[in-house]
Chain A
Amino acid sequence: MRLGFNFWLGALLTLLVVLAGVLAPWIAPFDPVFDADLMNSELPPDSTFWFGTDGQGRDVFTRILYGAQISLTVGIVSQVINSLIGVTLGMTAAYWGGWWDDLVNGLTNVMLAIPSLIFALGVMAVLGPGLPSLLIALGLTNWSWTCRIARSSTLSLKSQGYVQAAQTLGYGDLRIMFTQILPNMMGPILVMATLGMGSAVLSEAALSFLGLGIQPPFPSWGAMLTDARQLIQLAPWVAIFPGLAIFLSVLGFNLLGDGLRDSLDPHMRTRNI
């Protein structure tokens, strides 16, 4: 398996985000929420405040480090939920076929017709803002592509000799699905989940920016940009650095996903979703 330059660049960016999130309590110079001092508000970047301070006098660098925790949590948890839903539905639909397949197919088509950010907005309207609702909203949003891939992979794996051998040996359906089929489609599912991390982080940022996601004073990158519109003329760094953090981490996930996919299947064309 040859991994290209893009993959390694993506892996490096992802590693940086993970390190920022995990090491934040040790390497951050300040507290992300409580070290607010209005005397220090809107200071430009200097040797104490590397990325300057925001409107409440909090260190932007510190808040970005802690923000990585929120973005990673949202990305990972939402993609685990997405993959579980998508794989379970897609695999069982293809394996059992019949009315269940029709039902899952119909549901997938309906989900594809609702733009994901709009669906997430709707769920947030019901559950109210906050991290748990955000995890549920984004976890329920993007499983349709995973489901399609799981379904088509299962359809082609179903006729493989080893699956038929397992059937002949009298293995139960679930056992066949989880021990014979699932391991053989982990590659594409993993690619979808990695690319999905990127879009989940973007959606979280957008929802928090709108004031419907993570609520202040928690240091979500998107929420940090909410005030930036008012502050941007006086303190552009308040707008620049959190956005850069979102951009670089999403770029990391996207390159990682693209690189994984290219190495798994060199014939697959550039993603056009």
Chain B
Amino acid sequence: MLRFTLRRIWQIIPTLIVVALLIFVIFSVVPGSFAASLFSDGRRAADPQMIARLNEEFGLNKPLMERFITYITDLAQFDLGTSFRTRQPVIELIADRMWASLQLAIAAMVFALALGVPLGFLAALRPGSVLDTVTMIGAVSGLSMPQFWLGLLLMYLFALQLNWLPSFGYGDGSFRNLVLPAVTLGVTPLALLARTTRAGVLDVLSADFIRTAHSKGMSEAKVVRWHVARNALVLIVTTVGLQFGSLIGQAVVIEKLFAWPGIGSLLVDSVAIRDIPVVQGTILVIVLWFLLINTAVDLIYAAIDPRIKQE
């Protein structure tokens, strides 16, 4: 198990390096210089002296290869560069906001799990029932709905009309501020979890060992608990992992809508003012997050189902 774990963690590094390379290349083929667009206010052209000073300060005049080597060397030392705008280290800017993002992602996932898994399970045990139909219609609707629109409607209803919850902001980080953004963000994983759980359970129910269990006189409740739940778990863990990994990415719009101070809103604000070091750093952290979660899922997966480690 230890060797398997180490191998999986080790495999993250090449992917991360290629992603870093990709991000670097994308941001280097940009037409026009960042400095120019950073300082121009749309009416006057940027002051050439300012551009020269910024290019000098951030080493933007150096050859591409040299810049890339500096970039990778800095990365290896966990240095993500310095913000064009605030001159703060990017890693600090991200660290300041990481906790808010994590809170949001975890809360959204808990909400999705608490509702999605039981719904999918019940739907699969009674296929064709009203609950099944309603759950599946709800799931396809949840996947087709723009999340930020749902967020707007929830905000309108629960904050502005009913006055139950604050409409936006982090406040003092209390639970009340977390509810609306977390529910909004949780809808997509909720819909996916309901669907996968249902599909997984239906799949298991038709397996031979279930028929065997029934025919040897095992009670329904016991079959579900012993065989169905355990086998469906693998699929659920995979979905949870994949969703959890991409939640921080999906949260970008929700964080912006609810003025939630996570790394998603940091990314959007930095894109808007073209603060490239921050954009690069944030994307890299989001990808690292995704890869780490995926690796964790693989490990859990191997722990639940020993057949997987064999490959």
Contact = CB atoms under 8 A, between A and B. Distances in A.
A202 B250 CA distance: 12
Q: Is chain A's interface secondary structure helix, strand, loop, or mixed overall?
A: helix
A228 interface: yes
A117 B250 contact: yes
Given A121-B271, A247-B146, A110 B253 contact: no
Contact of A233 (B29, B140, B153, B160): B160
Given A225-B148, A251-B140, A117 B19 contact: no
A265 B271 CA distance: 42
Interface in A114-160: 114-119, 121-128
B80 interface: no
Interface stretch (A25-33, A164-172, A205-213): A205-213
Interface stretch (B83-91, B176-184, B213-221, B284-292): B284-292
A117 B271 contact: no
Contact of A240 (B153, B235, B270): B153
A57 interface: no
A117 B148 CA distance: 14
Interface string B2-25: 000000000000010011001100
Interface residues of B, number: 55
Given A110-B19, A239-B153, A272-B199, A222 B146 contact: yes
A136 B308 CA distance: 39
Nearest to A124: B271
A20 interface: no
Q: Which of A128, A211, A271, A272 has the most CB of B within 10 A?
A: A272
Contact of A210 (B19, B192, B195, B256): B256
Contacts of A107: 18
Given A110-B19, A124-B271, A115 B246 contact: yes
A97 interface: no
A206 B144 contact: no
B33 to A, nearest CB: 12
A125 B274 contact: yes
B152 A125 contact: no
Given A115-B246, A269-B203, A126 B29 contact: yes
Contacts of A251: 140-141, 144
A123 B276 CA distance: 11
Contacts of B246: 115
Interface string A209-238: 111100000000010010011001100100
Contact of A205 (B146, B248, B271): B146
Q: Which of B253, B267, B276, B291 has the most CB of A within 10 A?
A: B253
B13 to A, nearest CB: 12
A229 B192 contact: no
Contact of A212 (B15, B147, B272, B291): B272
Which of the four size classes fits the interface of chain A? 35 or more
A68 interface: no
A52 to B, nearest CB: 15
Contact of B199 (A126, A202, A222, A270): A270
Contacts of A124: 271
Contact of B26 (A122, A239, A255, A271): A122
Contacts of A255: 140
B239 interface: yes
B22 A113 contact: no
A122 B19 contact: no
A26 to B, nearest CB: 28
A118 B286 contact: yes
A232 B160 contact: yes
Contacts of A86: none
A239 B149 contact: yes
B146 A202 contact: yes
A104 interface: no
A191 interface: no
Contacts of B256: 210
B152 A110 contact: no
Q: Which of B144, B192, B267 has the most CB of A within 10 A?
A: B144
A239 B152 contact: yes
A29 to B, nearest CB: 24
B198 A270 contact: yes
B241 to A, nearest CB: 12
A247 B142 CA distance: 9
Given A121-B271, A209-B146, A251-B141, 16 more contacts: A114-B283, A124-B271, A125-B27, A125-B279, A205-B146, A209-B253, A210-B272, A232-B155, A232-B156, A233-B160, A243-B153, A247-B144, A247-B146, A247-B149, A258-B140, A270-B198
Interface of A: 106-107, 109-110, 113-119, 121-128, 198, 202, 205-206, 209-212, 222, 225, 228-229, 232-233, 236, 239-240, 242-243, 246-247, 250-251, 254-255, 258, 269-272
